Structure 1
Amino acid sequence: MIEVSEQTINRIHAILAGVENADKKVLKPALTRGLMAGKTAAGKAVRQTYHISAGDFNSRGHMKYNSVSQGGDGIVGSIEYSGGVIPLIRFKVSPNTPKRKKTPSAAVLKASSLVKFGRENNVFVQQMKSGHIGIFERKQGGYSASRGSGQNKHTEKLKELLSPAVPQMVGNDEVMQTVEERVNEVINQRIIPGFVLL
């Protein structure tokens, strides 16, 4: 949840104490501008925090800006984030193409170095028949008898490794702090003592 700081709220109340219809004329437009700026800041902050390109983030995530409205709880506005997980291969990985007997390394956060998967994890880069390249983990299956053959057949399953979902990345503490700072900054810029920007 994005919050307007108590300092900003107190400052606004002091500045607008004598302004008629302040909520409608000033607070609502200021919060609208602040949330719009916060939406932009969120995408930028995610890319600064995670090894993810703008194209991958935007194509797999959706940020919805809900217009500011006035109700019983006062002036309310929000930004909603939705989207699924992103294949780990879309982050910083090495190698990023299939290579025999090469165990991949990966990093999701920019603050982290590449970490190599242990051999016991049985992780590798593979291209599927569809052309999709991903980082997969081989899961051992069970044994089943083939009908009429009297022989056991061993099965294996491949599981693609994925990143956190888009809402989780946006909910990162550092990302949220950046967004809140930007929202408060814009609100303060829109309301200047002695001069209200409409």
Structure 2
Amino acid sequence: MIDFTTEQMAKAEKLLRHIPGAAPAAMARAINRATESARTAAARKVRETYFIRHKDVTDTLKLRKATPTSLSASIVSSGSVIALTTFRVSPKSPQPQKAANVRWKNGKAFKIVARVKRGEGGPIKSAFVAKMQSGHVGVFKRVGTDRKPIDQFYGPSVPQMLGNPSVSDWVNEKAKETMGQRLDHEINRLLEANR
């Protein structure tokens, strides 16, 4: 939720008091621009922290805009956990069971390397990439000693990534900064237009 401070509202009302309805209109426009900017900043910050595509983040974000009669806006992200193959996985496709498919690290064999968060990740023991009948490609592991059942590996959901304090705190600060700048811009625009 992005809202104005009492001081910002008082400033707009004082400077625009001689123009009917101008203060709420200026605040609504400013908060909507700040919300749009925060959406872009959120997607960028998530991508700086996680190995995920911009579209995979923005597709989960919905904006609720402010109006002159409701001076608050929000950005809501909804979505469930994401298949591990959405992130940085090597190999990304099913491989034939050959020695060439096995990589070595510190003298140990492994098949799958996954990185969800930048600077983190590594090999996953007993994992393999498989393509399901639906066409979905995922990283799986066997539950027991038989070929089936198998469990799929997942990374965090976009809401979880956005909830990471290093992401959410940064986005909130950027939104507040943008909102103050946009409010000044909108006030000045209306004052110029009504001289």
TM norm. shorter chain > 0.5: yes
1:103 maps onto 2:94 in alignment: no
Residues 133, 62 of structure 1: CA spacing in aligned structure 2 closer, same or farther, 3 A cutoff?
same
| Structure-1 residue corresponding to 2:73 | 77
- Please give the TM-score of this superposition, normalised by the length of structure 2: 0.73
Question: Aligned pair in 2 of structure 1 residues 39, 184: CA closer, same or farther (>3 Å)?
Answer: same
Q: Which residue type is aligned with residue 13 of structure 1?
A: A
Identity between Structure 1 and Structure 2 (%): 29
Query: RMSD of aligned C-alpha atoms?
Result: 2.9
Distance 2:73 2:4 in 1: 15
Deviation at residue 68 of structure 1 after TM alignment: 0.7
Query: Does the aligned pair in 2 maintain the 1:190–1:196 contact within 8 Å?
Result: no
* Structural mapping, 1:51-90, within 5 Å: 51-58=51-58, 61-69=59-67, 75-90=71-86
Q: Give 1:70 deviation, angstroms.
A: 5.5
Q: Which has the higher helix share?
A: 2
**TM-aligned CA deviation for residue 171 of structure 1:** 1.9
Match of 1:137 in 2: 141
Q: What pairs with 1:172-183 in structure 2 (closer than 5 Å)? A: 172-183=164-175
Tell me which protein shows more strand as a share of its residues. Answer: 1
- Which one of 5, 10, 14 corresponds to residue 7 of structure 2? 10
CA 1:175–1:5 in 2, change beyond 3 Å: closer, same or farther?
Answer: farther
**Structure 2 stretches lacking a partner, 5+ long:** 103-109, 191-195
Distance 1:130 1:11, change over 3 A: closer
| Conserved 8 A contact 1:124-1:137 | yes
Instruction: Find the counterpart in structure 1 of residue 156 from structure 2.
Output: 164
* TM-score (structure 1 length as normaliser): 0.72
Which structure 1 residue ranges, 4+ long, deviate > 6 Å from structure 2?
Answer: none
Structure 1: which 5+ residue stretches go unaligned?
142-153
The structure-2 alpha-carbon separation of the partners of 1:32 and 1:156, relative to structure 1 and needing over 3 Å to count, comes to same
